[in-house]
Structure 1
Amino acid sequence: MNELIEKAKKLKSASDFLKKTKAKEKNEAIRQIAIALEKNMDYILSENKKDVDIARKNGVKEALVDRLALNEKRIKGMIDSCNTVINLKDPVGEIFDSFLREDGIRISKMRVPLGVIGIIYESRPNVTVDATILALKSGNTVLLRGGSDAINSNKALVKVIKEGLKNSGIPENSVELIENTDRALVNEMLKLNEYLDLVIPRGGKGLINFVVKNSTVPVLETGVGICHIFVDESADVMKSIDIIDNAKTQRPGTCNTVETVLIHKDIASKILPDLKKRLEEKNVEIRGCEEVLKHIDVKPATEEDWATEYLDLILSIKVVNDLDEAISHIKTYSTGHSESILTEDYLNAMKFVEEIDSAAVYINASTRFTDGGEFGMGAEMGISTQKMHARGPVGLKELTTYKFVIQGNYDVRG
């Protein structure tokens, strides 16, 4: 029996236990995970350093190294996520959409766990903890398949997580990591219908497309983030520059980073020189359309730029004639993740919200807020850009389904 099947069987068995576990016990398990993370911080950081050193040796872009790297602050962020999830309401067992028929039969929906969730992800070792605590709190077990670039970090984190679970009432095999980095196992994992109830891919376009095309297990598709900001003619120039700066430079290797900024032609001359100065201070490479080049000296943008998720300190900028052109551009190139309008015009803001069909649509705010923690979910499994079942940050409720519960009084159908 190979590693994948062996661990999938353990998770299936643990799932039967976990779906009956009360919130108090699940919360205690997550609390013990937080304690173990605090206790083993030096060990986690030393193992993460191995991955970071290898990445730098292999010439990985620094923005992508940042996604891989852990530090004391980020581990404390994991601990904070644990505490936040503990304080969230347990969705399992919730009764909703209940109604009483004329004959006295009551029909309700009850929220229940999905079962065994598989998550396939790249870099970011914090996903190991986020996925674990969200799965446990929502009554699910989880099969983790991280990237080879983070294997030392993920092995260390799962070892620490299991240490925490040993001190709780929840089986330590509620969480399993596929340690074999052979990519062939991913394809095998996608066919485990007997054991997995859902697969979530979290990473680049290549990974997501591969999972969607090859999985026989149901897939919750998280999305590539070609995020846009439109600066309307009425926008406050300096506040707009602050937002664009934040959305591009805070963590350029994340999916909620802005990749394209669209600027109304009537404000272009006012904002572009100062925007260029600010971004170049942060080492951002700007690529602009022909109209942008009339105002500032930057690299010309190509058609390919509008369809690229850079995950780097690169930003494409286009000048548009009006809101309609901005909306048209976004509809053409958006991946359905996050889009923002900066404006003082209420009607334009409402039109933008109505016509832009993305998971998160912002008015006068940075796209960087599209995150489970920022949305009050504690953590997230990913950002869903599909429309079925879940959309946007995937938190506790999105990791459950429901069953109908029908209460009668020895009734028969006439």
Structure 2
Amino acid sequence: MDVSQYMLELGQQAREAATKIARASTSNKNKALLAIANNIREQREALRQANAEDLENGRQKGLDAALLDRLELTDPRIDTMIEGLEQVASLPDPIGEITDLKYRPSGIQVGKMRVPLGVIGIIYESRPNVTIEAASLCLKSGNATILRGGSESIASNRFLAGCISAGLKAAGLPETTVQVVETTDRAAVGELITMPDYVDVIVPRGGKGLIERISNDARVPVIKHLDGICHVFIDAAADKAKAMNIAINAKTHRYGTCNTMETLLVHQQVAADILPELADAYSGLGVELRGCEQSRAIVSSMKVATDEDWDTEYLAPILAVKVVADIDEAIRHINRHGSHHTDAIITENYSLTRRFLTEVDSASVMINASTRFADGFEYGLGAEIGISTDKIHARGPVGLDGLTSQKYVVFGNGEVRK
């Protein structure tokens, strides 16, 4: 296969499809989504067989248990894919929404209308359910998309591509609205991220190495986040019960997610009271603690935290712990060592919550809540295509609105500028 020519053809087809899906009715888009859901429901066993092929190939290639787990499509995961399609179909269609409409002294009305981005390239690893999540969000937001999944999930993705294509056809929409890259050649990624004539934005989902490479080499805009170094700061005015529950949940609910707490900051006035109890709770859950000198003076079983620990996304049952003098030191530490993803403060002091919200430079800033809530579904977006730590365009969980832009619209009645 000539990869360059193949990707060029995908790009041309996507660009043509984008002009058609942008003007598709909400009814037709929803019809396609529900048809895709029904196709997966009816062909569940065939999908499981395709996935079993990927799993067997993965075992032969020596993929570790964690990667195999992300690759596997269990019945509950297939159910979630179907439910996700139905949920996206039930969401309001953002396309064509006009907001901020105001009369100007000249007599014209000026507002903003929400429009699709165009063609979205999505590059991801392992999890074949991302194929459905990405396709559904791009379709509902009026975008065409080119999906490049990992080579380890090629059989599953090809099968899902067939379900998507059939669903689009049933709704009378271009089948090329969603295209799954058929080749496992890594050169396809290089082509996809350097086709500004045919691709409007790239969304990478995967490890830091993949995202760094795409960010460095792409010639089109990238919606991304590199790390999820999330913090919880327990203030002197924190409710102890809330602090305990949140600190434990933020770390142990799931270890391998980007919204998991990686560093716990504790005000020096309450450290001696709360750290021993937290350490016992973490120990019972198998979490290794790495602390600063003050933390270790309170809980001697902690390992020594190095400078590297403050800048590490563990994605594992390991937690860095630091005692801080006050909120000023906490905010400085978060803004210096965090990844601008999600950070939380536990306090009953209203004025400090306002400072934390204002001064912490992150995509999600939380008051008395677990960082694990930083998620498109939990935020009421229905689903997300990823989380962005960028400041331009989309920031935080990227749902339907994040896959759109706005243009100014003007309504007049014969007015001319004087």
Q: 1:53 to 1:268 in 2, by over 3 A?
A: farther
Superposed CA offset, 1:131-173 (max 9, x none) = 1111111100111112233333333332332233333222222
Name 1:342's counterpart in structure 2: 346
Query: Does the residue aligned with 2:159 lie in a helix, a strand or coil?
Result: helix
User: Which AA in structure 2 matches 1:376?
Assistant: G
> Which stretches in structure 2 are left out of the alignment for 5+ residues?
none
Q: Hey, what's the Cα distance between the residues in 1 that align with 2:152 and 2:240?
A: 41
Structure 2 counterpart SS, 1:267? helix
Residue segments in structure 1 that go unaligned for 5+ positions in a row: none
Equivalent position of 1:310 in the other structure:
314
- Residue type at the aligned position of 1:399: L
CA RMSD of aligned residues (A): 2.2
Equivalence for 2:410: 406
SS at match of 1:108: strand
1:286 offset after TM fit, Å? 2.1
Instruction: Give 1:379 shift.
Output: 0.9
Equivalent of residue 383 in structure 1, options 384, 387, 397: 387
Counterparts of 2:124 and 2:111 in 1: how far apart (Å)?
36
The answer on 1:393 being equivalent to 2:394 is: no
Match of 2:155 among 146, 152, 160: 152
User: Who is 1:26 aligned against?
Assistant: 29
Work out whether 1:91 is the aligned partner of 2:94. yes
Contact 2:212 2:226 (8 Å CA) reproduced:
no
In structure 2, do the counterparts of structure 1 residues 236 and 49 end up closer, same or farther at CA, with 3 Å as the change threshold?
A: farther
2:326 corresponds to which residue? Answer: 322
Distance 1:314 1:56 in 2: 27
Tell me the alpha carbon deviations over residues 73-118 of structure 1, each in whole angstroms, 9 at most, x when there is no partner: 2222222222222121111111123233334333332221111111
- Deviation of 1:199 after TM superposition, in Å, equals 1.1
Matched with 1:110 is: 113
1:364 paired residue among 361, 368, 375: 368
Relative distance call for 1:339 and 1:27 in structure 2 (3 A) is same
TM-score by length of 2: 0.91
Q: What fraction of aligned residue pairs are identical, expressed as a percent? A: 48
Moved more, 234-243 or 129-138: 234-243
Which residue of structure 1 aligns with residue 227 of structure 2? 224
Matching of residues 12-411 of structure 1 within 5 Å? 12-52=15-55, 62-294=65-297, 295-411=299-415
Number of residue equivalences: 414
Q: C-alpha distance in 2, partners of 1:388/1:9?
A: 27
Task: Give the letter aligned to residue 83 of structure 1.
Answer: E
CA contact (8 A) 1:197 1:217 kept: yes
Shift in alpha-carbon separation, 1:233–1:391, aligned structure 2, 3 A: same
Greater CA drift, 83-92 or 135-144: 83-92
CA contact (8 A) 2:215 2:222 kept: yes
Query: Displacement, 1:188?
Result: 1.4
The Cα of 1:271 is off from its aligned counterpart by 2.5
Q: 1:5 aligns with which of 8, 16, 30?
A: 8
Q: CA deviation at 1:39?
A: 2.2
* Contact preservation (8 Å) 1:256, 1:370: yes
**Aligned-partner SS, 2:87:** helix
Q: Say whether the 8 Å CA contact 2:70–2:127 is kept in structure 1.
A: yes
Q: Is the 8 A contact 1:63 1:312 kept in 2?
A: no
TM-score between both structures, scaled by the size of structure 1: 0.92
Farther-moved stretch of structure 1 (59-68 vs 69-78): 59-68
Q: How far 1:49 sits from its partner (Å)?
A: 4.3
Distance 1:352 1:411, change over 3 A: closer
